[in-house]
Amino acid sequence: MEFFNLHTHKYTNQPNILELVNQYPQEFDATIPNYSIGIHPWFIVEERIEADLVIIESKLQEATCLAVGECGLDKRIEISMEFQEMVFERQLLLAQQYNKPVVIHCVAAFQELIAIKKKLNISVPMLIHGFSKNAQIAKQLVDNGFYISFGKYLLLNKELETVFKSVPNNRFFLETDITDEGIEAVYELAAKYKGISVNEIQEIVNSNFNKVFDFRL
């Protein structure tokens, strides 16, 4: 594996890239070889939650499903936090049951996220995708056992360089999410910011991948 893309909505089917493609329960595409599946907080439909969770649980038992997600918490939407937390917690418990990592969407709710992890005593890896906040929040997340994934905002916001450099090498991943840029561009920028080669970034990400995901290439 030359490149691992932790989170993307676009399956590109390139032989040198392992892509963790985001899937939704009601729009599942069985032709995608490696994926995560979850209920995104934006797309919670009350009448459909139980049906969605049944689909998620069935997919978690397949080897091609590498993670739960993206799921999480978002304070900038109209769905109540109480309801979001219930849906998120149900998915975390499934992840724990089937020993799968969790890809997390979190907007302005990092304290709630940390509290839920502690409350439920979640031991599977929890990965914050698309990180765009400051070094203080990054450190708090790392100190509480989270991994942090960088992609779109790393490319767009020069101020994230300091934040990215502050994250220990054994705690980060890289992704493209919905950007048109390839994962290679993210690796190149990550290498530049860390002051190392792209090959070294590849070794770091591969090591983190092997630690987090129960998957053999």
Which residue numbers belong to the known binding site for a divalent metal cation?
70, 105, 129, 177
C-alpha closest to that of 127 among 95, 149, 106, 153 = 149
The rounded distance, in Å, linking the Cα atoms of 207 and 49 is 35
The rounded distance, in Å, linking the Cα atoms of 7 and 4 is 9
Contacts of 88 (CB under 8 A, 6+ apart): 41, 71, 72, 73, 116
The rounded distance, in Å, linking the Cα atoms of 107 and 24 is 19
The rounded distance, in Å, linking the Cα atoms of 197 and 200 is 5
How many degrees, rounded to 5, is the angle at CA 13 between CA 217 and CA 189? 85
The rounded distance, in Å, linking the Cα atoms of 208 and 196 is 17
Contacts of 146 (CB under 8 A, 6+ apart): 104, 117, 126, 127, 128, 171
Binding positions are: 70, 105, 129, 177
Tokens of 152: 């779109």
